[in-house]
Amino acid sequence: MNWQGKTVGYAITGSHCTFAEVMPQIGRFVDGGAKVVPIISNSVLTTDTRFGKSEDWRKQLKDITGNDIISSIVEAEPLGPSKLLDVLVIAPCTGTTTSKLANAVTDSPVLMAAKAQLRNGRPLVIAVSTNDGLGFNLANIAKLIVAKNVYFVPFGQDNPAGKPNSLVANMELVPETCYAALEGKQLQPLIIERFHG
User: Tens digits of per-residue pLDDT, 32-77?
Assistant: 999 999 999 999 999 999 999 999 999 999 999 999 999 999 999 9
The CA distance from 92 to 8, in Å, is 15
Identify which has the larger pLDDT, 196 or 173: 173
Residue 194 binned pLDDT confidence (cut-offs 50, 70, 90): confident
Number of other residues whose CB lies within 10 A of the CB of residue 96: 19
For the CA atoms of 96, 99, 102, 103, what is the dihedral angle to 10 degrees? -110
What pLDDT is stored for residue 136 in this prediction?
95
DSSP line for 50-114 = TTB-HHHHHHHHHHHH-SPPB-SHHHHTTHHHHT--SEEEEEEE-HHHHHHHHTT---SHHHHHH
The CA distance from 63 to 60, in Å, is 5
In this prediction, what percent of the chain has a pLDDT beyond 70?
99
The CA distance from 179 to 183, in Å, is 7
The CA distance from 195 to 197, in Å, is 6
The residues, any chain, with a CB within 8 Å of residue 182's CB and separated by 6 or more, are 6, 86, 87, 123
Q: Specify the amino acid at residue 186.
A: Q
Of the candidates 118, 89, 111, the residue with the CA atom closest to the CA atom of residue 178: 89
Q: Using an 8 Å Cβ cutoff, are 117 and 88 in contact?
A: yes
Fold adopted by 7-13+20-166: Rossmann fold (3.40.50)
Segments making up each domain of the chain, as ranges: 7-13+20-166
Of the candidates 69, 137, 149, the residue with the CA atom closest to the CA atom of residue 109: 69
Alpha-carbon Rg for the chain, nearest whole angstrom, is: 15
Of the candidates 41, 43, 116, the residue with the CA atom closest to the CA atom of residue 77: 116
Residue 78 binned pLDDT confidence (cut-offs 50, 70, 90): very high
Residue 196, pLDDT > 70, answer no
Residue 1 binned pLDDT confidence (cut-offs 50, 70, 90): confident
